[in-house]
Chains A and B, each alone.
Chain A
Amino acid sequence: MSQILPMQYLTPGETGCVLDVDGDQNLVRRLGEMGLRAGVAVRMVQPGRPCIVALDHQRFSFRGEDDAVVMVEVDRN
């Protein structure tokens, strides 16, 4: 069953597909330019605040606030 949740709630090692990046326009574009955009797969490396997520071979430290929410879709049974 697929579930939709904010990226920071992925469990360690879990991979999700980014559905939507929402929030402040400038921030959303900055994230897009860095590669974090709808359609890419992100893997949780280290949860927490900030968390570390991997996008292919890139790693980002990410601490989401109200003005930047990354929603991901995961398959959870």
Chain B
Amino acid sequence: MSTVAEPASLLTVALIGNPNTGKSTLFNALSGSRALTGNYPGVTVEKKISRMTCGDRAVDLIDLPGTYSLAPRTLDEMVAVNVLLGKQSDVRAPDVVICIVDASNIERNLYLVSQVLDMALPTIVVLNMCDVAAARGIQIDVPALSKRLGLPVIKTEAHRKRGLDELRSTIVSVAAVAPTHHLDRPPIFPAAFAAECEQLGAMLTSLGKPQTPYFLLERLLLDVGGYLEGHFVDGQASQLTAHLVGARERLAAQGVKVPAAEARLRYEWIRNILEGVLTRPASRPVTVSDKLDSFLTHRVAGLVVFALLMLGMFQAIYTGAKPLMELCDAGKDRVGNVVGGWLPAGMLNSLVVDGIIGGVGAVLVFLPQITLLFLFMAILEDCGYMARAAFLVDRLMTRLGLSGKSFVPLMSSFACAVPGILATRVIENRRDRMTTILVAPLMSCSARQPVYVLMATAFVPATTVLGGWQLPTLVVFGMTFLGALVAVPIAWLLKKTVFRGETPPFVMELPSYKWPSPGVIFNRVYEQAREFVVRAGTLIMATTVLIWGAGYFPGDHSRVDELTAQIEALQADPTRAEEHAEEIDDLVSQQNQMRGQLLEESYLGRFGHAIEPAVRPLGWDWRIGVGVMASFPAREVIVTTLGTIYSLGSSVEADDRNLVSAVQAARWPDGRPVYNVPVAVSIMVFFALCAQCASTLLVIRRETNSWRWPVFTFCYMTALAYLGALLAYQIGRLWS
């Protein structure tokens, strides 16, 4: 009789480690396939889980945020603690923890390991970057280290996929053994501390709490005024605080001064563990990173390289993405035509073609540009340059009361404020983070480009100035940096008023340079691009449908549809189409006129007329007013809306000559042209400064956890935009 093997159950493995240890590379190498990413419910900490197999076991690998410590002080750390303790509702408690350690920097990395050990979970230590350590003359006696720690220690070189099989089999074998406390491992804290933890646990149970994990008891004692104390025991907070104060006093009397003692005791423990295990060369060899840094962080040369890099990047994004964007555009028109041909003329046709395909397509066209920017950012980040860039601009940022850490988020906002705002999570200081979030939408995102291009092409004379530069190009370029320029006094003002506070000290690790890992970069870019597409498919789609509805109803469109049918009938026969060319043109212009009238009578049109007095001082007519109103959910909508308004149908692009000539031909009732240079500049300035992006405002809401800040951002930016446009128009009028 053969024994039937029990079906192996699903294992959950958590991966934790310091930043810059090759954690993402290991995660990708282990899982191979793309990970499922999202956020943990209620917080904006990225959740990354991948399904893989180890032998015959299915394993869910959870990638935890890179952290130096498990003393929960930031959201990332809190989530990491909750996942490890199995308190995060949407992920299973981990069966195994993999703690990744940078072998070339083992002392500091073991600090986190020592905290993970206090969780008493089955743990594997992965010694990564052994090749780097060896190159630096650092030798680690792995069997001895494993024996001292009482844990399996596996050597890997994640980027060369070395050591992975051993790691996989160790995961399975470690999971099979019940966790034991390795008594042969030297204790980190003295007995008195353990006794206090026990007392605290007993006290909490007496208050009617379920048994508290040892790790949390330890943290409650060690983290003075920490995250946990407030969150942990609500109701009996005063009792708990009193007990903690007493306990800390008793510990201090025994020489364990909280909180200073933790780092001291843990590093002492690490020194004991590494005694005789770690051999280091007497003198530190000069590394490639050192040589690169002497140039790239140089006061002068570093800044020059930085400026050239940024310039090259923007140049590459604008020119490099162009063919792809044109392709996307053509694809969008193609889809619109095909779908429009299938659907019978009428409301549904208009909704799908003008509303959904036109609106969402107009946004998706920017995907190549945004993907390219994400790609550059991911490469700079992964090779270690971003930290240097932050270092270089810190001096500048301190003038505004910010630190170098605000640089990357603001830089990303030039593509799109949404990832920019998400990138502010690395800023620990709350006031700095808030200021950065609130000025990030002022950076000229790629959605502003079409507006600049349309206006500059139509109204700025195409003369050559300053030795070979096209004036319209210069205007577009200037507009791109207007927002950043305005952000300077705004950030300064915010730091002087709402978020007043000292400039926080700036400490940042400058990781060693390395070749970027294609897998890590691909995943990062893919994730960000996916998020962008999903947003276009949900929020932007919903708002475009809404705007379409306001522009379509309550008019009677049956005549327009009849004309469409007539035109199609004439065009269907190629022989007749030629002789009826004039008739077709006539019908088309009749139809366009009708469409324009319908729009004027629609809810959107009525609204536009109602607000006209407010936009007149900016030099705008009701149509521009409507266009601006309609583009509140997403600024790029203005181009499509103006297209509809100028009776061209909605499939109009920024450099479409028809739209250009239509806006050039637009007239006030008294016959004066609506647009002239001051009006065009006024529109561009408005769009450079306005907060017309629902996604950005929603992200601000999510990141600040309050409606106050998106409302504030919207109000201050709209006021700024209105003022800026007013100034531009009034001064421009005097000028001409």
Contacts and interface: CB of A to CB of B under 8 A. Distances in A.
Interface of A: 23, 25-39, 45-46, 48-50, 52, 56-68
Contacts of B263: 29, 32-33, 37
A28 B391 CA distance: 21
B68 A33 contact: yes
Interface in B490-512: 502-510, 512
B21 to A, nearest CB: 12
Contacts of B505: 23, 27, 62-65, 67-68
A33 B264 CA distance: 10
Interface in B509-559: 509-510, 512
Nearest to B224: A25
Contact of A66 (B387, B403, B502, B509): B502
B95 interface: no
A62 B507 contact: yes
Contact of A56 (B69, B105, B267, B398): B105
Contact of A50 (B260, B264, B506, B512): B506
A72 B105 CA distance: 22
A31 to B, nearest CB: 6
Contacts of B264: 37-38
Between A31, A48, A57, the greatest number of chain B beta carbons within 10 A of the residue's beta carbon is seen for A57
Contacts of B108: 34-35, 58
Contact of A34 (B68, B73, B260, B290): B68
Interface in B258-301: 259-260, 262-264, 267, 280, 284, 287, 289-290, 293, 297-299
Contact of A52 (B71, B287, B293, B395): B293
B404 A61 contact: yes
A58 B68 CA distance: 14
Interface in B378-392: 387, 390-391
B507 A57 contact: no
Interface string B340-380: 00000000000000000000000000000000000000000
**Majority SS of interface residues in chain A?**
mixed
A46 B507 contact: no
A61 B284 contact: no
A20 to B, nearest CB: 10
Between B224, B263, B280, the greatest number of chain A beta carbons within 10 A of the residue's beta carbon is seen for B263
Interface in B129-175: 136
25 contacts: A25-B224, A27-B505, A30-B507, A31-B507, A32-B263, A33-B69, A33-B71, A35-B111, A45-B293, A48-B299, A49-B395, A50-B391, A50-B506, A52-B510, A56-B105, A57-B105, A57-B512, A59-B293, A59-B512, A61-B507, A61-B510, A62-B507, A63-B506, A65-B503, A65-B505
Given A31-B507, A46-B297, A50-B404, A58 B502 contact: no
Contacts of B60: none
B287 A60 contact: no
Interface of B: 68-69, 71, 73, 104-105, 107-108, 111, 136, 224, 259-260, 262-264, 267, 280, 284, 287, 289-290, 293, 297-299, 387, 390-391, 394-395, 398, 403-404, 428, 502-510, 512
Nearest to B394: A50
Given A34-B509, A46-B298, A65-B502, 10 more contacts: A23-B505, A29-B69, A37-B264, A48-B395, A52-B297, A57-B136, A57-B287, A59-B509, A61-B404, A62-B505
Nearest to B299: A48
B403 A63 contact: yes
A58 B105 contact: yes
Q: Sorted from nearest, which 9 A-B pairs have the closest CB atoms?
A: A32-B263, A35-B108, A63-B506, A59-B510, A33-B69, A33-B68, A61-B391, A68-B505, A65-B505
Contacts of A27: 505
A33 B267 CA distance: 10
A23 to B, nearest CB: 8
Contacts of B502: 65-67
A21 B71 CA distance: 19
A30 B108 CA distance: 12
A57 B394 contact: no
Contacts of A60: 507-510
Between A27, A36, A59, A62, the greatest number of chain B beta carbons within 10 A of the residue's beta carbon is seen for A59
Contacts of A25: 224, 259
Contact of B68 (A30, A37, A59, A66): A30
Contacts of B111: 33, 35
A61 B299 contact: no
Given A25-B224, A37-B267, A58 B403 contact: no
A25 B136 CA distance: 34
Contacts of A32: 263, 267
